[in-house]
Structure 1
Amino acid sequence: MTQTNDAVDVTRMSLRDSGWIGYTDDAVYIERDGEKIQIANEHVRKVTLQSLRWDLAVMSVLLIGVGGYVAITRNPLVGIAFAVVGVLSMYRTYGNRYALRIQIENESKPVTVYPTYPVECHETIVDSIEGRSRDG
Protein backbone atom coordinates (compact mmCIF):
# COMPACT_ATOMS: atom_id res chain seq x y z
CA MET A 1 0.00 0.00 0.00
CA THR A 2 1.52 3.32 -1.06
CA GLN A 3 0.43 6.54 0.57
CA THR A 4 1.57 10.09 0.05
CA ASN A 5 2.67 11.67 3.30
CA ASP A 6 4.10 15.22 3.25
CA ALA A 7 4.87 14.96 -0.48
CA VAL A 8 6.66 11.61 -0.01
CA ASP A 9 5.32 8.30 -1.35
CA VAL A 10 5.69 5.71 1.44
CA THR A 11 5.04 2.03 0.80
CA ARG A 12 3.62 0.69 4.07
CA MET A 13 3.44 -2.75 5.67
CA SER A 14 1.51 -3.30 8.90
CA LEU A 15 3.00 -4.40 12.22
CA ARG A 16 1.49 -7.01 14.56
CA ASP A 17 1.53 -4.69 17.55
CA SER A 18 -0.18 -1.79 15.69
CA GLY A 19 1.55 0.73 13.54
CA TRP A 20 3.42 0.29 10.28
CA ILE A 21 6.84 0.12 8.68
CA GLY A 22 7.42 1.62 5.27
CA TYR A 23 10.09 2.67 2.87
CA THR A 24 10.84 5.20 0.17
CA ASP A 25 13.78 5.63 -2.18
CA ASP A 26 15.80 7.29 0.59
CA ALA A 27 14.63 6.05 3.99
CA VAL A 28 12.80 3.54 6.15
CA TYR A 29 9.87 4.87 8.20
CA ILE A 30 8.36 3.33 11.32
CA GLU A 31 5.26 4.49 13.15
CA ARG A 32 4.19 2.68 16.31
CA ASP A 33 2.60 3.74 19.58
CA GLY A 34 2.51 7.37 18.44
CA GLU A 35 6.28 7.31 17.82
CA LYS A 36 7.56 8.17 14.35
CA ILE A 37 11.03 7.06 13.28
CA GLN A 38 12.81 7.91 10.03
CA ILE A 39 16.04 6.07 9.21
CA ALA A 40 18.03 7.18 6.17
CA ASN A 41 19.16 4.23 4.03
CA GLU A 42 22.83 5.24 4.29
CA HIS A 43 22.65 4.94 8.11
CA VAL A 44 21.33 1.35 8.09
CA ARG A 45 24.16 -1.09 8.81
CA LYS A 46 22.23 -4.35 8.86
CA VAL A 47 18.66 -5.70 8.67
CA THR A 48 18.02 -9.13 10.21
CA LEU A 49 15.00 -11.32 10.81
CA GLN A 50 15.15 -13.39 14.00
CA SER A 51 12.67 -16.26 13.83
CA LEU A 52 12.64 -17.21 17.53
CA ARG A 53 14.82 -16.69 20.59
CA TRP A 54 15.75 -20.34 20.93
CA ASP A 55 17.65 -19.84 24.17
CA LEU A 56 14.50 -18.49 25.86
CA ALA A 57 12.30 -21.17 24.30
CA VAL A 58 14.56 -23.96 25.63
CA MET A 59 14.76 -22.29 29.05
CA SER A 60 10.95 -22.06 29.15
CA VAL A 61 10.53 -25.75 28.31
CA LEU A 62 13.10 -26.65 30.98
CA LEU A 63 11.24 -24.57 33.56
CA ILE A 64 8.01 -26.37 32.70
CA GLY A 65 9.76 -29.75 32.96
CA VAL A 66 11.47 -28.94 36.27
CA GLY A 67 8.19 -27.57 37.60
CA GLY A 68 6.41 -30.80 36.69
CA TYR A 69 9.13 -32.91 38.29
CA VAL A 70 9.17 -30.86 41.49
CA ALA A 71 5.35 -30.88 41.65
CA ILE A 72 5.26 -34.68 41.41
CA THR A 73 8.23 -35.56 43.64
CA ARG A 74 8.70 -32.76 46.17
CA ASN A 75 6.39 -29.80 46.61
CA PRO A 76 3.33 -29.36 44.40
CA LEU A 77 2.97 -25.64 45.09
CA VAL A 78 6.60 -24.81 44.21
CA GLY A 79 6.46 -27.09 41.17
CA ILE A 80 3.31 -25.44 39.85
CA ALA A 81 4.92 -22.02 40.37
CA PHE A 82 7.93 -23.07 38.26
CA ALA A 83 5.64 -24.47 35.56
CA VAL A 84 3.55 -21.28 35.45
CA VAL A 85 6.67 -19.13 35.07
CA GLY A 86 7.80 -21.43 32.24
CA VAL A 87 4.43 -21.18 30.47
CA LEU A 88 4.40 -17.38 30.77
CA SER A 89 7.96 -17.20 29.45
CA MET A 90 7.06 -19.44 26.50
CA TYR A 91 4.00 -17.28 25.72
CA ARG A 92 6.11 -14.11 25.73
CA THR A 93 8.85 -15.72 23.65
CA TYR A 94 6.29 -16.93 21.09
CA GLY A 95 4.72 -13.47 20.95
CA ASN A 96 8.11 -11.94 20.10
CA ARG A 97 8.88 -14.34 17.23
CA TYR A 98 9.93 -13.02 13.83
CA ALA A 99 11.53 -9.83 15.07
CA LEU A 100 12.81 -7.55 12.31
CA ARG A 101 15.90 -5.79 13.68
CA ILE A 102 17.38 -2.73 11.96
CA GLN A 103 20.91 -1.91 13.15
CA ILE A 104 21.74 1.77 12.72
CA GLU A 105 25.18 3.40 12.60
CA ASN A 106 26.31 4.90 15.92
CA GLU A 107 23.45 3.22 17.84
CA SER A 108 24.08 0.42 20.32
CA LYS A 109 20.56 -1.08 20.23
CA PRO A 110 18.76 -1.99 17.02
CA VAL A 111 15.25 -0.82 16.21
CA THR A 112 13.00 -3.88 16.57
CA VAL A 113 9.57 -4.28 14.98
CA TYR A 114 7.21 -7.22 14.49
CA PRO A 115 5.72 -7.15 10.95
CA THR A 116 2.50 -8.95 10.09
CA TYR A 117 4.25 -10.65 7.15
CA PRO A 118 7.85 -10.81 8.41
CA VAL A 119 9.62 -12.65 5.57
CA GLU A 120 8.13 -10.46 2.83
CA CYS A 121 8.80 -7.32 4.87
CA HIS A 122 12.44 -8.32 5.48
CA GLU A 123 13.05 -9.08 1.81
CA THR A 124 11.38 -5.86 0.68
CA ILE A 125 13.26 -3.62 3.12
CA VAL A 126 16.63 -5.27 2.32
CA ASP A 127 16.02 -4.98 -1.43
CA SER A 128 15.03 -1.33 -1.01
CA ILE A 129 18.11 -0.45 1.03
CA GLU A 130 20.60 -2.44 -1.07
CA GLY A 131 19.10 -1.27 -4.34
CA ARG A 132 19.29 2.38 -3.34
CA SER A 133 22.86 2.13 -2.06
CA ARG A 134 24.01 0.56 -5.35
CA ASP A 135 22.29 3.27 -7.38
CA GLY A 136 23.83 6.12 -5.35
Structure 2
Amino acid sequence: MTDFRALTIRQPWAGAIAHQTKRVENRTWKLPAKHEGARILIHAGAQLDRNAQIYGPHFGAYSAVVAVATISGCHWSDEWQCCGNWAFEKSYHWTLDDVIALPEPVPAKGRLGIWTPDADLLTAVTAQLALAGAE
Protein backbone atom coordinates (compact mmCIF):
# COMPACT_ATOMS: atom_id res chain seq x y z
CA MET A 1 0.00 0.00 0.00
CA THR A 2 2.98 2.32 -0.19
CA ASP A 3 1.91 3.92 -3.48
CA PHE A 4 -1.66 4.68 -2.43
CA ARG A 5 -3.11 8.14 -2.82
CA ALA A 6 -6.34 9.47 -1.32
CA LEU A 7 -9.23 11.62 -2.48
CA THR A 8 -11.52 13.53 -0.14
CA ILE A 9 -15.19 13.45 -1.15
CA ARG A 10 -18.03 15.09 0.76
CA GLN A 11 -20.81 13.06 2.26
CA PRO A 12 -23.17 11.55 1.28
CA TRP A 13 -21.16 10.82 -1.89
CA ALA A 14 -18.24 9.05 -0.17
CA GLY A 15 -20.71 6.77 1.59
CA ALA A 16 -22.57 6.12 -1.66
CA ILE A 17 -19.28 4.99 -3.20
CA ALA A 18 -18.48 2.75 -0.24
CA HIS A 19 -21.92 1.25 0.36
CA GLN A 20 -24.03 1.59 -2.76
CA THR A 21 -23.54 1.69 -6.48
CA LYS A 22 -21.97 5.11 -7.08
CA ARG A 23 -19.12 4.27 -9.42
CA VAL A 24 -18.43 7.68 -10.93
CA GLU A 25 -16.99 10.73 -9.19
CA ASN A 26 -17.87 14.07 -10.79
CA ARG A 27 -15.03 16.59 -10.88
CA THR A 28 -14.37 19.97 -12.49
CA TRP A 29 -10.78 18.92 -13.23
CA LYS A 30 -9.37 16.15 -15.36
CA LEU A 31 -7.74 13.17 -13.66
CA PRO A 32 -3.95 13.39 -14.06
CA ALA A 33 -2.95 10.54 -16.39
CA LYS A 34 -0.49 9.14 -13.83
CA HIS A 35 -3.41 8.26 -11.51
CA GLU A 36 -5.45 6.28 -14.04
CA GLY A 37 -5.53 2.65 -12.91
CA ALA A 38 -4.33 3.57 -9.41
CA ARG A 39 -5.80 2.29 -6.14
CA ILE A 40 -7.08 5.19 -4.07
CA LEU A 41 -8.42 5.69 -0.56
CA ILE A 42 -11.91 7.19 -0.51
CA HIS A 43 -11.89 9.76 2.30
CA ALA A 44 -15.18 11.18 3.59
CA GLY A 45 -14.73 14.90 4.10
CA ALA A 46 -15.54 16.82 7.26
CA GLN A 47 -18.59 18.49 5.75
CA LEU A 48 -21.87 17.40 4.21
CA ASP A 49 -22.67 18.47 0.66
CA ARG A 50 -25.64 20.71 1.46
CA ASN A 51 -27.10 20.12 -2.02
CA ALA A 52 -27.48 16.40 -1.36
CA GLN A 53 -30.02 14.30 0.49
CA ILE A 54 -28.99 11.87 3.21
CA TYR A 55 -30.05 8.36 2.20
CA GLY A 56 -29.30 6.31 5.28
CA PRO A 57 -27.30 5.86 8.49
CA HIS A 58 -24.21 4.48 6.74
CA PHE A 59 -23.33 8.01 5.60
CA GLY A 60 -22.47 9.06 9.15
CA ALA A 61 -18.66 8.87 8.84
CA TYR A 62 -16.90 12.20 8.45
CA SER A 63 -13.16 12.93 8.33
CA ALA A 64 -12.39 9.26 7.75
CA VAL A 65 -11.32 6.81 5.06
CA VAL A 66 -14.37 4.70 4.24
CA ALA A 67 -13.31 2.66 1.19
CA VAL A 68 -10.62 1.78 -1.31
CA ALA A 69 -11.22 1.86 -5.08
CA THR A 70 -9.45 1.78 -8.44
CA ILE A 71 -9.73 4.82 -10.69
CA SER A 72 -10.33 3.03 -13.98
CA GLY A 73 -10.77 6.02 -16.27
CA CYS A 74 -11.75 9.62 -16.80
CA HIS A 75 -13.76 11.39 -19.48
CA TRP A 76 -15.54 14.71 -20.01
CA SER A 77 -19.25 14.70 -20.69
CA ASP A 78 -21.76 17.36 -21.62
CA GLU A 79 -24.55 14.83 -21.07
CA TRP A 80 -26.49 14.06 -17.92
CA GLN A 81 -26.06 10.45 -16.74
CA CYS A 82 -23.90 9.42 -19.73
CA CYS A 83 -22.35 6.62 -17.66
CA GLY A 84 -24.94 6.01 -14.96
CA ASN A 85 -27.35 7.70 -12.59
CA TRP A 86 -24.56 9.44 -10.67
CA ALA A 87 -22.93 11.17 -13.66
CA PHE A 88 -23.54 14.92 -13.88
CA GLU A 89 -23.47 16.95 -17.07
CA LYS A 90 -20.59 19.27 -17.93
CA SER A 91 -18.05 17.55 -15.72
CA TYR A 92 -15.22 15.06 -15.74
CA HIS A 93 -16.35 11.59 -14.76
CA TRP A 94 -13.77 9.57 -12.87
CA THR A 95 -14.89 5.96 -13.10
CA LEU A 96 -14.35 3.73 -10.07
CA ASP A 97 -14.01 -0.05 -9.95
CA ASP A 98 -13.08 -2.71 -7.39
CA VAL A 99 -14.59 -0.72 -4.51
CA ILE A 100 -14.08 -2.23 -1.07
CA ALA A 101 -15.89 -0.66 1.88
CA LEU A 102 -13.89 -0.70 5.10
CA PRO A 103 -15.60 -2.48 8.02
CA GLU A 104 -14.87 0.56 10.22
CA PRO A 105 -14.03 4.09 9.03
CA VAL A 106 -10.42 5.12 9.69
CA PRO A 107 -10.25 8.69 11.07
CA ALA A 108 -8.04 11.03 9.07
CA LYS A 109 -7.79 14.67 8.12
CA GLY A 110 -8.35 15.17 4.40
CA ARG A 111 -6.94 17.61 1.89
CA LEU A 112 -7.92 19.15 -1.41
CA GLY A 113 -7.03 17.28 -4.58
CA ILE A 114 -5.32 13.91 -4.66
CA TRP A 115 -3.15 13.59 -1.58
CA THR A 116 -0.61 11.20 -0.09
CA PRO A 117 -1.67 9.44 3.13
CA ASP A 118 0.90 9.01 5.90
CA ALA A 119 2.27 5.64 7.04
CA ASP A 120 0.02 5.43 10.13
CA LEU A 121 -3.11 5.92 8.04
CA LEU A 122 -1.98 3.30 5.52
CA THR A 123 -1.30 0.83 8.35
CA ALA A 124 -4.79 1.39 9.79
CA VAL A 125 -6.45 1.03 6.36
CA THR A 126 -4.47 -2.16 5.68
CA ALA A 127 -5.76 -3.60 8.96
CA GLN A 128 -9.36 -2.78 7.94
CA LEU A 129 -8.85 -4.35 4.52
CA ALA A 130 -7.60 -7.52 6.24
CA LEU A 131 -10.80 -7.59 8.33
CA ALA A 132 -12.79 -7.23 5.10
CA GLY A 133 -10.85 -10.16 3.64
CA ALA A 134 -9.46 -7.95 0.90
CA GLU A 135 -5.83 -7.39 1.80
TM-score (norm 2): 0.25
User: Which structure features the higher share of helix residues?
Assistant: 1
User: Which structure features the higher share of strand residues?
Assistant: 2
Higher relative contact order (CA 8 A, sep 6+): 2
